[in-house]
Every structure is written in C-alpha cells, then in structure tokens.
Amino acid sequence: MVVDTKTQRGYIIPIGGRESKLANPKVLEKFVQLSGGKNAHIVIIPTASELSDTGENYVNLFKTLGVKSAYSLEIQKRVDTSKTDYLEKIQGATGIFMTGGNQLLLSTTLGGTPVAQLIRRKNQAGANVAGTSAGAAFIPEHMIAGGQPGLMPRGSMVVLAPGLGLTNKIIVDQHFSQRDRLGRLLTALSYNPFITGIGIDEDTGAFLGPDNVIEVVGSGMLTIVDMSHLDYSSVHKASADEPISLVGIRMHTLVSGARYDALNHIAYPHQD
C-alpha cells in the first residue's frame, strides 16, 4: 500500500475503558461519526481480551450504532496476522477498534507483524484508530504495560514496553481516576519528559486529530501532564521504592468539550 502524503492522517483515539455502550454511547458514536457514520467500515481487534465473545459483542454493538459493516479479526497467534482475508478487511476499513484486556498480550501478538504495519499505514492514509483500556495503552510508541497505584511517583512504579507507534507525542494511562494511576504516569514521564502524559478516565475518549489537538469526549475527565517546562528530575538517582522529585510540571484536568494542543502545549477549557 502506497500512502498518499497529501492525505491527512486519521484520528488516534485512546479510550479509558468501560465506555458506555447502550445508554449513552457518546464516545463510540463520535468514533463511528468520524469513520463515516452509516458508511463506516469498522474492523475490531479483540486480541487483548481472553473472552471468546468480545469481538462478536463489539460487532453487534457497532451494527446497532448504524455502521455499514463491522468485522472482528480473531487474532490469537502471531501467525494469524498474515491471513490474507484479515489484511484485506483492514485495507478496507475506515475505522479500526482495539478492545480491552491485557496490553502485553496485545503487544506481543501484534508487535512488528503485517497487521501492525498495515494499521500504521492505514492511519497515516486517513483511517481512524481507536483503542479502549489495553487497546488505548497500546496506541502510542511507548506503552505503560503495568505498575502500581498511588499518587507518589517512585523509581520502580511503572513497567514500560514498546507500543503500536501511532504517535510519539503522548503516553496513555487508562482507568485513570478510578484506579489511582497518577503516580505511575508521572514515573513513566520522568523517564522521557519529551512525551505528554494523558490520563484517561473510564467512559472518556481523547480524540487526537491530524492537527495534534485532542478533544475530550465522554462522562469522565482527561488529566494532562505536560513535562515541556520540567526544570528538575531525580529519577536518575532514585532507588526502587524512593520518591521521585519533579519540578516544573504543568497539569490540566479537562472535561468533555475541552481541547488540548499537544504540539504547542495549550489547554482550551470547555466553553458553554
């Protein structure tokens, strides 16, 4: 596949998990709308989930939301990523959705495979890529693979692994407020202050557009941790359980309708 450099890349959409599916599915509706609405072709990748019906449940859900087609790729082994019919389904997709589960299962199964390579090319060519929970963590270049809850950043609080690599602008932590994950996000950012931290609550999506502006959609909150003005970090000398000193952090808490310019590090609160 040759990427048309004149085409804007598609949206990158990490979702914090437990998105509303029936009563008020604003996050999923926005993803469907951006992907073509009634003309949308959605491909679901349930690899992170160990439940056999996850993919089919999302197929039925997206059909209920009015898409033209929805198809689940039952990728359980790396060899599955070379299946011609799977690659053809991704090739024709306007939206790609990765479910929750175990992000290490997702990364070790998909990382470096034809499916992962094609997803990146499709996103560059304009297809939208969303992921919820584990699927959200996998989206950026750097993935939070695990860690400990708590407010205080500490030397060994987080485990990082390579992600899908759709963007190097952000790193994502999901179920953020619900599972008390500020400390592990701060620890991850202390390793590489170039990245902006995005803590995403449940039933909340961060819609990162081709202009690198994030729009918040959903019932929860987006916590932005901006390290671009960091003056000092003690992570280089912190032992495993020792607190880390970080000076010069900027943090924003944004609700639905707010925006954040990830390129210029400017927050725009929602205006009624």
Which residues are catalytically annotated? 133, 175, 202
Minimal CA–CA distance to 18: which of 175, 222, 146, 140? 175
Question: What DSSP letter does each residue of 30-96 carry, written as one string?
Answer: HHHHHTTGGG-EEEEE-TT---TTHHHHHHHHHHHTT-SEEEE----SGGGGG-HHHHHHHHT-SEE
Return d(Cα 245, Cα 223) in angstroms, integer: 20
**Beta-strand pair 128-132/95-98:** parallel
Q: In 18-57, which positions are buried (b, 16+ CB within 10 angstroms) versus exposed (e)? A: bbebeeebbbbebbbebbbeeebbbbbbbbbbeeeebbeb
- Structural contact between residues 262 and 214, judged by C-beta atoms closer than 8 angstroms: yes
Spatial neighbors of 63 by CB under 8 A, at least 6 apart, are 70
